[in-house]
Chains A and B, each alone.
With several copies, the nearest count.
Chain A
Amino acid sequence: MSQRLPVKRAFGCAPPLLFDSGSPGRSGFFWPEEDAFPAAELPAELLRDAVEGFPELGELEALRHFTQLSHLNFGIESQFYPLGSCTMKYNPKVNETVARFPGFAHIHPLAPVPLLQGALELLYELEGWLAEISGMDHVSLQPSAGAQGELTGLMLIRAYLADCGDARQKIIVPDTAHGTNPASSTLCGYEVIQVSSNEQGVMDPATVARVMNEEVAALMITNPNTLGLFEKNIEAVAGAVHARGGLVYLDGANLNALMGIAKPGHMGVDVLHMNLHKTFSTPHGGGGPGAGPVAVKAALRDYLPVPRIEKQNGAYVLSEDHPKSVGRVRSFLGNFGVLVRAYTYILSLGGDGLAEASRMALLNANYIRKRLEKHYSLAYNEPCMHECVFTDRAQHRFGVTTLDIAKRLLDYGFHPPTIYFPLVVSGALMIEPTETETPETLDAFIDAMIAIAREAKENPELVKTAPHSTPVRRLDEARAARKPVLRWEPERAERDKEQGML
């Protein structure tokens, strides 16, 4: 039982839940002025009793709770975080400073437009910049994240084709695609045709041509794809799709590999989305907020979501009246706070800086690929772009899997790569260093990976039982899913105490 008692340590102990802390009647809320105020007469039957089990903490108590929680997290500013497909680059501090200017943080979306000219100017300019960077014609900043960008993009493809009197039912999605691609297709009422990539890990024009027909609305392609490989046949592939009246959707989540190197708009792409919380340095926040603008070619402009920002003799206006538009995809004007950060990032780097960023992202990824290829087997022996994918093939014979390698990396103070994705690679280890990491950091990470490869051979048990130095060790995910416990409840708290789990 003793091992069930909370670990005693100087640093890094998990605090009890908010609901198991505090004391009845305690509160961090302090509002003496108001006491005189006459209460509103609301019918008693509308009113609830006090919220059962709600937290009752003081200000320091609450702050300490969350500060202690923060110490249980890895973050980019404390650890190297080479999570593939997530572009965990440095999130510049100046972005945080400007996003907190009262003139951005405390403005209301339904205030009269003349009172929001600075915000609209920023958004208008950002749309233009993203169009220039991606080689597209028009941009909408509405979508809240990449997946919503995908949905929006597919919706406008659907609307466009419908207008052309050419309703179609299917979307072609490569087997290497991110899960959001097929999920968005379904959400948009489409049926998904999965096609597999060729032995070089990319789309084969012939294969696409074979499945392409008049039922297919579009191909969703990711470039570079999730293997970190440039879809070198993309123009031919796009040709095959266009030939049968389909459109080409590009998942631009990996745009960090392309700035100044190749513009999606020149590859035959009709619609794409970008992840500002990847390529454009806005923080991931442990799972958002992000922003997933959609960009289109001129032909699809009228279908972009409303509202749209327009400039009319010097002033910026919001226009809602676009009969062909797919409509509104979220409330108000998108994740403005995120857009301010992305704007600041582009302003800071400039065109050359963005190109440099992509070049260095490629340099870092290829450096890791090169130094590790003798120790881990590559999924594909092709030149990589901004990320490289390895497998656990070489470690398998020692009974060591990708999961074990990932967990062991934690003991070395590194966040693991993305694992078991893309699905086409068994035991994938998808490493995306990004351009903001130094070669010394890459070397330290590589050395750790090499050390783990050695441990896998010499002491597999050590790796299979990792991590050994984290606040909690490997967690029983099956148990969590079998009988889901998704919230605190008074009874449970009691039971856990008895079992000494907290």
Chain B
Amino acid sequence: MRYTPHTLDDQARMLRTIGIQDIKQLYEHVPARLRETAGIRLPGGLAEVAVRRRLANLAAKNAAATDWSFFLGGGIYHHAIPSAVDAVVSRSEFATSYTPYQPEVSQGTLQALYEFQTLVCQLTGMEAANAGVYDGASAAAEAVLMSRRIQPLSRRQVLVSRALHPHYREVIRTYARNLEDVALQEIRFGDSGATDLERLRAALGPSTMCVVLGYPNFFGVIEDLASAQAACARAGAHLISVTTEPLALGLLKPPGFFGAEIAVGEGQSFGVPMNLGGPGFGFFATQRRFIRNLPGRLVGETVDVEGRRGFVLTLATREQHIRRERATSNICTSQTLCALAATVFLSLMGKTGLRRLAEINAARAHQARARLIREARAEAVFSGPFFNEFVVRVRDLDRAIRRAGERRIVPGIELSRWYPELPEALLVCVTEMNEREEVERLVAALAG
């Protein structure tokens, strides 16, 4: 059979050793009724070439960024991935190993995760980070749950910015729903596209547990974390900063700089292909005093019996396999290989490269916005500062999008499906992958 190496002789020999004649005897203790109806009605297996043909046909029915011009962000970004990244993550020693339960033969994964944790701290300006969680959205939800573990029972009100990524707000709602004590409240955004700080201050109170803001937010706007943090501090609430485009942290003051208690986000931008939105990974950072409340895996430094440095999974007493129903979270398998990709990516970019890449993104996005407004009669929607994403209003948006589509351009994301208050608004993202001439074609297409 395809991947089972057993020849008939192998099977016969093994059955003899076991002391039975027929392999069926191995599961005859399974109730007959179940066995009789267990047949799988699927076609037979295919040769590798046939499998590749079938998958190639399916892939051909999708629009890939390799032949289309995407101006799509909204939580998943099209960035350059150096070939060296895949060369590392496709090495079977990384790709096929399990969660590093046996540290003596897992130092590769463990050291890389320790380096990952450090990189996340450096980028977010926080003191401690875990080895990653599923994605940015569940990271945001886990952050709320972590705040709940820390804050007194009297604080269960969660203030969520309406300018936070809609999926993230939904996932927070899904997770919170099962915990009767948590009450979510949405805070509107103002004309700048940033969360309305007046409304935030008004909503903050003695029962507030935490405030969740996007940084930058879903509109690409850079929130004023300084003021938000000040307000939270005054009210005794935690500030949770959520980043969907981590490249921004190569350029912007990090959440830790403002004193955020928790900084989380999606890391896909760092060396992970878009993959229709997954797998990427969630990053999760906090202050040292909170490390025992962290969800997920933590890698720590230690020494072996000969005094040599080594790395291990640590603080496992937080985790499900030890703590079971009292664990800080239920996460077991996470997104390690994507975290490794990010670690490789960031070590290739390095201090100067990451900064430069962020500058290139900002420069291209700002130039594109200016040209769309100047040359394509698009209207600015928000006045706040932004990184590589921005919102414009395009008259007759549907036709404009269709026009662009005919030229193999996807000009951005329509916001009205999540924000009825923003008709004909388009969220446009421009990265280093959008050539100057692509921007020309975008402007032409939207100008009509």
Contact = CB atoms under 8 A, between A and B. Distances in A.
Contacts of A97: 52, 83
A144 B45 contact: no
A158 to B, nearest CB: 6
Interface string B171-205: 10111011110000000000000000000000000
Contacts of B86: 93, 100
Given A19-B118, A155-B174, 5 more contacts: A74-B97, A91-B92, A281-B3, A288-B334, A289-B278
B117 A436 contact: no
A122 B58 contact: yes
Contacts of B250: 51
Given A30-B47, A46-B253, A288-B336, A471 B92 contact: no
Contacts of B2: 30, 348-349, 353
A23 B5 contact: yes
17 contacts: A26-B5, A31-B357, A40-B365, A48-B254, A57-B350, A106-B66, A107-B274, A108-B78, A116-B63, A147-B333, A173-B325, A331-B75, A337-B278, A348-B46, A476-B303, A496-B309, A501-B308
By secondary structure, the A interface counts as: loop
Nearest to A346: B42
Contacts of A116: 62-63, 276
Contacts of A79: 105
Given A25-B8, A75-B92, A480-B312, A108 B65 contact: yes
Given A62-B347, A96-B90, A502-B309, A51 B117 contact: no
Interface string B66-105: 1110101011101000111011111111111111111111
B447 interface: no
A415 B125 CA distance: 38
B310 to A, nearest CB: 4
Interface size bucket, B side?
35 or more
A130 to B, nearest CB: 11
A31 B47 contact: yes
B357 A47 contact: no
Contacts of A331: 75, 135-137, 165, 167-168, 171, 266, 277-278
B92 A78 contact: yes
A351 B115 contact: no
A111 B63 contact: yes
B11 interface: yes
B170 interface: yes
B84 A63 contact: yes
Of all A-B residue pairs in the complex, the 9 with the closest CB atoms, nearest first, are A29-B353, A103-B59, A332-B277, A285-B337, A118-B61, A58-B5, A109-B277, A289-B279, A287-B336
Interface string A455-495: 00000000001010011111111011100111110000000
User: Which of A119, A129, A332 has the most C-beta atoms of chain B within 10 angstroms of its own C-beta?
Assistant: A332
Interface stretch (A203-211, A241-249, A294-302, A357-365): A357-365
Interface stretch (B30-38, B155-163, B232-240, B374-382): B30-38
A56 B348 CA distance: 8
A61 B5 contact: yes
Contacts of A103: 56, 58-62, 64
Contacts of A70: 88, 91, 93-94, 108
A330 B319 contact: no
B247 interface: no
B297 interface: yes
A465 to B, nearest CB: 8
A56 B177 contact: no
A481 B315 contact: yes
Contacts of B171: 327-331
B383 interface: no
B317 interface: yes
Contacts of B401: 112
A352 interface: yes
A18 B347 contact: yes
Interface residues of A, number: 217
Contacts of A102: 59, 64-67
Contact of A107 (B44, B64, B137, B319): B64
Contact of B323 (A38, A135, A183): A183
A115 B315 contact: no
A363 B46 contact: no
A357 B45 CA distance: 12
A66 B385 CA distance: 38
Nearest to A384: B26
A25 B111 CA distance: 24
B373 interface: no
Contacts of A201: none
A171 B83 CA distance: 46
B294 to A, nearest CB: 9
User: Which of A62, A277, A289, A305 has the most C-beta atoms of chain B within 10 angstroms of its own C-beta?
Assistant: A289
Given A96-B90, A117-B62, A286-B336, A73 B109 contact: yes
User: Which of A61, A275, A334 has the most C-beta atoms of chain B within 10 angstroms of its own C-beta?
Assistant: A334
B174 A62 contact: no
Nearest to B136: A331
User: Which of A75, A79, A471 has the most C-beta atoms of chain B within 10 angstroms of its own C-beta?
Assistant: A75
Contacts of B46: 32-33, 347-348, 350
A4 interface: yes
A158 B177 CA distance: 10
Interface in A233-289: 235, 258-263, 266-267, 275, 277, 281, 283-289
B13 interface: yes
B42 to A, nearest CB: 4
Given A146-B332, A472-B103, A360 B6 contact: yes
Nearest to A177: B324
Contacts of A90: 3
